[in-house]
Amino acid sequence: DSHSITQWVIGDHEARNIYAGIPGRYGNSSAQLFYPEGITLDTYGNLYIADCQNHRIQMFCPNAIFGITIAGTGQPGNSSHELSYPGDVAFDSELNLYVTDTFNSRIQKFERVK
């Protein structure tokens, strides 16, 4: 329920780093997340987050406070550019992005822009 991506060290009582989102505050602004689920990094250190209840994939560049929506519209849908409760994200060797589009029972492939 923290609505953020944080780094914890075993035994510590506080998060060491906050990489995305605002702990304890959900929302749909470019700086906020709403039940983030899967995360992955690309070869450039950008963080990709399946922002589940915002129905989008957010990309955060290293040290960025604001994310960029790279997939989804912020509303649930089933067209090729929409997501409905994305759950996980992964890249292949060519940096194409794969997203589990949970409520649409499909895996979406978003090709790398060249």
C-beta neighbour count of 53 within 10 angstroms: 16
pTM of the model: 0.87
Alpha helices, DSSP H, located in 1-114: none
Give the domain CATH number at 49: 2.40.10.500
Number of domain units in the chain: 1
- How crowded is the C-beta side of 95, counted as CA atoms within 13 Å? 10
What whole-number distance in Å separates Cα of residue 87 and Cα of residue 80?
A: 16
Q: Are 97 and 110 spatial neighbours (Cβ–Cβ below 8 Å)? A: yes
Q: Is 101 exposed, middle or buried (0-12, 13-18, 19+ CB in 10 A)?
A: buried
Q: Tens digit of pLDDT for each residue in 60-89?
A: 999 899 999 999 999 999 999 999 999 999
What is the arithmetic mean of pLDDT over 5-32? 80
Domain region containing 70: 4-110
